[in-house]
């Protein structure tokens, strides 16, 4: 069973920027209602896309510097990285189906 990994400023480069496959990074916070609604969607997508995409989570309260570096101004924000570069970002809550459609489109482009 694949689950999102929790990354911090310390290990962001090794887990995200140096990853060999695309990574979806969920920027979130405990107090954020839409973030809490998105969490099970991210968990399910991590299972659905195991082997094709990696999923990671960054707590913006604990790692505000990362949020600032990537200009995350609203949460939840999900950023897709390929080869260490941001290729797409999604701001706000999406259903599993909406998110999956977006990911399928991206995978066709980066494959």
Name the band, by pLDDT with cuts 50, 70 and 90, for residue 44.
Answer: very high
Q: Extract the tokens encoding 1.
A: 């069973």
Buried b (16+ CB within 10 A) or exposed e, 38-60: bbebbbebbeebeeebbbbbbbb
Classify domain 5-106 at the CATH topology level: Glutaredoxin (3.40.30)
For the chain, report the end-to-end CA distance as a whole number of angstroms.
23
Q: Where are the domains of the chain?
A: 5-106
pLDDT (tens digit per residue) in 80-105? 999 999 999 999 999 999 999 999 99
- Active site amino acids: 32, 35
Torsion angle in degrees (nearest 10) through CA of 62, 65, 68, 74:
0
């Amino acid at each position: 069973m694949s689950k999102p990994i929790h990354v911090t400023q310390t290990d962001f480069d090794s887990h995200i920027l140096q990853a060999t496959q695309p990574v979806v990074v969920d920027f979130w916070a405990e107090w954020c209602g839409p973030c809490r609604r998105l969490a099970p969607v991210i968990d399910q997508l991590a299972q659905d896309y195991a082997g094709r995409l990696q999923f990671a989570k960054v707590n913006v309260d604990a790692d505000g510097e990362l949020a600032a570096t990537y200009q995350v101004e609203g949460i939840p924000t999900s950023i897709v990285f390929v080869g260490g570069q941001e290729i797409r970002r999604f701001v706000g809550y999406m259903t599993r189906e909406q998110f999956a459609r977006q990911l399928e489109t991206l995978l066709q482009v980066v494959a």
